[in-house]
Amino acid sequence: MKREINLQRLSGFEMPTRLNCGYIIYHYYFKDLKHVFDAYIKEHDNVFDIGCGNKPFEKYIRNLTKTGDYQGCDVVQSSEQKADIICEATNIPEQSDKYDVVICTQVIEHVFDHSKVFEEAYRLLKKGGYFIVSSNFVWRIHEAPYDFYRFTKYGFEQLLENAGFTVKEEKVNGGKFAALGQLIIHCFLTGQRKNFFIKKIRGCFIFFCNIVFPWLDDKKKDELYTLNYVFVGQK
């Protein structure tokens, strides 16, 4: 199978409005990712982004690192021509022990031999460096047929430890009500609608879900189900 050229990728780090079908996931994911970036990316750090796509976090990361370098790779060139290196995530032509931070966001579910991504991140990092990695738990199939896995927190922990990392932090991006609300939107409220009134009604329901389900989630957090995880490992 050959990868599609110029895949559409996430282009920014700004929260969508409550009319957006992806509001719930980004409400939790972006908040937690910013917390992790702020905690582990320091001034003058050199950062490498595995599966960088359109580098949606570039501006934010460069503001943190100031004079540090920020490079990224992807399996195909992104729609905005942002990838510095075109390569597999399991075989990156960069020298070992070079970077202070390696990030890999929403990528490992698309890599069949995903354990090698953790090994590559470990190789690229200086001693004491941090690997920031995220992926789905409850989410629809996307970028088919290159969508292979979903990961539990225990899977993340084992993958990090097997590669040599010490787990430093775990972020659960929403609980069961967030997952339920996002699933309702994906299952019943998405797709093309030509009728103007149906589109308006659908928009109202999406807006309702984007208000009610995060509120329920914040009231009674249950992490047995979650939309996504962000983990940090240290070399």
- The string of DSSP codes covering 192-213 is ----HHHHHHHHHHHHHHHHHH
Sole residue written with tokens 């995060």: 214
Q: Rounded to whole angstroms, what are the CA distances from 131 to 112, 199, 211, 226?
A: 19, 42, 33, 21
Q: Residue 226, by phi and psi: left (phi above 0), alpha (psi -120 to 50) or beta?
A: beta
Percent of the chain with pLDDT over 90: 84
* 69 vs 58: CA distance, rounded Å: 11
Across the chain, the runs of DSSP E, i.e. the strands, are 47-50, 70-74, 85-86, 99-105, 125-136, 166-172, 228-234
Q: Which is the CATH superfamily of the domain at 26-175+224-234?
A: Vaccinia Virus protein VP39 (3.40.50.150)
Confidence check: pLDDT of 194 > 70: no
**Domain residue extents for the chain:** 26-175+224-234
Confidence check: pLDDT of 24 > 70: yes
Residue 61 structure tokens: 């990361």
Question: CB count, 10 Å around CB of 55?
Answer: 23
What confidence tens digit (pLDDT) does each residue in 98-147 have?
A: 999 999 999 999 999 999 999 999 999 999 999 999 999 999 999 889 99
Confidence check: pLDDT of 1 > 50: no
Q: How confident is the model at residue 221 (pLDDT cuts 50, 70, 90)?
A: confident
Note whether 210 and 153 are within 8 A (CB): no
pLDDT at site 198 = 76
pLDDT at site 223 = 86
